[in-house]
């Protein structure tokens, strides 16, 4: 079975992720093929729009395939990881900047690198099964693949909250936070896709959209804005710790499970990107972290604890009450000649 099915169908350029047994996790080769398709279709007048979907019920795309990243990284070889992220981010930028409508159909889990494939288009469709999240902090990374820009554009302080806690969003919450545009019940997808293939008319998606069941995040916006208004991770943890509400206690418990360096950098990135619409600025900032993540952050330990040994007992470089401001600054310094190039 191929990992990805790229073809022209009717008036559409179609990209179908085809690793359902691996929750359609992105490999390096998949990123290369998606980028090549975007380059080929950009100026092809026969292609009216793009449609991205995935096989299987569990996931649209659960993130990047980190097995080879870990295998090379623990040997002290950081070159493959850097090549992977450079290629993935360049592909993310081309999706964001694509001059034609891009529709994505995101069932089940869409996380991390899956957000980078599914959430930068013009017509982002979710269903009753959708669960969208940016859980990278929990494994020692930061929200990447352009996800930091979506977080920075989210209402209020929702970006800081979603980025540090990895909160999972159903359809309504994903639309509210800016990760999706349309709710279409999954039973309607096949007919809608067939009509898009035949007509290439993205306006059919507008007509198909329905109202999802209410989400949770909008009702929590007051608490989120109050507790996540601080400039640093230490400010947020202090504010949560001084409150006896259930929301504060649960959120603080969640934050204490992730590495402080990743969370501190995530907060800093969201603050720096707020007010911009530049995907390239976001990706370049993300790459400053990921370029250094194996050598100077908690990525390898996070993968070991969650995926390899599965002991769920990571030993992070910092404790929650450590002073990390200088380390955050160092992780996000410009890379000079190693900077991400588009």
Give 193-247 pLDDT, tens digit per residue. Answer: 999 999 999 999 999 999 999 999 999 999 999 999 999 999 999 999 999 999 9
Q: Are residues 238 and 114 in the same domain?
A: no
Q: What is the structure's pLDDT at 1? A: 52
- Report how far residue 278's alpha carbon sits from residue 53's, in angstroms, rounded to the nearest whole number: 25
Domain-embedded: residue 181: yes
Q: Tell me, yes or no, whether 28 and 95 share the same domain.
A: yes
- What is the pLDDT, as a whole number, of residue 320? 84
Q: Is 140 a member of any domain?
A: no
Q: What is the pLDDT of residues 116-157, one digit of tens each?
A: 999 999 999 999 999 999 999 999 999 999 999 999 999 999
Same domain, 125 and 239: no
Is residue 160 situated within a structural domain? no
Domain that holds residue 232: 221-338
The answer as to whether 161 is a domain residue is: no
Task: Name the residue among 212, 242, 252, 15 with its Cα closest to residue 130.
Answer: 212
The CATH number of residue 18's host domain is 3.90.226.10
**Residue 215 counted as domain residue:** no
Say yes or no: 64 and 181 in one domain.
Answer: yes
Q: Are residues 254 and 182 in the same domain?
A: no
Residue 145 covered by a domain? no
Pair 26, 122 in one domain: yes
Say if residue 196 is in the same domain as residue 261.
no
User: Quick one: which H or E segment has residue 177?
Assistant: helix 171-177
In a domain, 143, yes or no: no
Is residue 120 domain-shared with residue 245, that is, in the same domain? no
Out of 184, 208, 232, a domain closes at 208
Residues 232 and 203 in one domain: no
Which residue in 6, 120, 41, 91 sits closest to 340, CA to CA?
A: 91
- Total domains in the chain come to 2
Q: Does one domain contain both 67 and 191?
A: yes
Residue 139 in any domain: the answer is: no
Is the Cβ–Cβ distance between 149 and 276 less than 8 Å?
Answer: yes
Question: Nearest to residue 124, comparing CAs of 182, 173, 169?
Answer: 182
Which of 179, 208, 237 is a domain's end point? 208
Rounded to the nearest 10 degrees, what angle do helices 260-273 and 279-296 cross at?
160
The percent of residues in the chain predicted with pLDDT above 70, rounded, is: 100
pTM, two decimals, is 0.95
| Residue 304: band (very low, low, confident or very high) from pLDDT cuts 50, 70, 90 | very high
Buried b (16+ CB within 10 A) or exposed e, 254-273: bbeebbbbbbbbbbbbbeeb
Q: Are residues 263 and 315 in the same domain?
A: yes
Angle made by CA atoms 298, 321, 323, in degrees to the nearest 5: 75
Q: In what order do the strands lie in the sheet with 109-111?
A: 59-61, 109-111, 131-133
What is the three-class DSSP state of 309? coil
Burial class (CB in 10 A: 0-12, 13-18, 19+), 43: exposed
Q: Please, what is the average pLDDT of the chain?
A: 95
233, 266: one domain? yes
What are 85-126's pLDDT values in tens digits? Answer: 999 999 999 999 999 999 999 999 999 999 999 999 999 999
Cα gap 284→264, rounded to integer Å? 18
């Amino acid at each position: 079975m191929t990992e990805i099915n790229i073809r022209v169908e009717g008036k559409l350029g179609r990209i179908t992720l085809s690793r359902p047994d691996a929750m359609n996790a992105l490999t390096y080769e998949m990123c290369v093929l998606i980028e090549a398709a975007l380059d080929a279709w950009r100026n092809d007048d026969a292609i009216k729009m793009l449609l991205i979907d995935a096989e299987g019920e569990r996931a649209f795309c659960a993130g990047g395939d980190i097995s080879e990243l870990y295998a090379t990284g623990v040997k002290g070889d950081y070159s493959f990881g850097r090549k992977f992220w450079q290629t993935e981010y360049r592909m993310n930028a081309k999706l964001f900047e694509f001059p034609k409508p891009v529709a994505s159909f995101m069932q089940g889990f869409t996380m991390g690198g899956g957000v980078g494939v599914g959430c930068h288009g013009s017509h982002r469709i979710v269903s009753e099964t959708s669960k969208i999240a940016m859980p990278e902090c929990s494994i020692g990374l930061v929200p990447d693949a352009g996800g930091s820009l979506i977080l920075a554009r989210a209402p209020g302080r929702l970006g800081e909250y979603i980025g540090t806690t990895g909160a999972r969003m159903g359809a309504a919450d994903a639309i509210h936070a800016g990760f999706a545009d349309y709710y279409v019940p999954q039973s309607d997808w096949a007919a809608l896709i067939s009509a898009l293939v035949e007509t290439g008319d993205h306006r059919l998606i507008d007509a198909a959209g329905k109202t999802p069941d209410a989400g949770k995040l909008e009702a929590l916006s007051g608490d989120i804005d109050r507790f996540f208004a601080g400039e640093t991770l230490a400010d947020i943890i202090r504010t949560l710790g001084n409150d006896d509400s259930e929301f504060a206690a649960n959120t603080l418990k969640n934050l204490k499970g992730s590495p402080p360096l990743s969370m501190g950098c995530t907060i800093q990135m969201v603050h720096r990107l707020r007010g911009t619409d530049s995907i390239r600025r976001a990706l370049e900032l993300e790459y400053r972290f990921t370029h250094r993540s194996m050598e100077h952050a908690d990525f390898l330990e996070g993968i070991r604890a969650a995926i390899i040994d599965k002991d769920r007992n990571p030993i992070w470089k910092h404790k929650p009450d450590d002073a990390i401001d200088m380390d955050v600054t160092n992780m996000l310094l410009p890379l000079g000649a190693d900077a991400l190039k588009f």
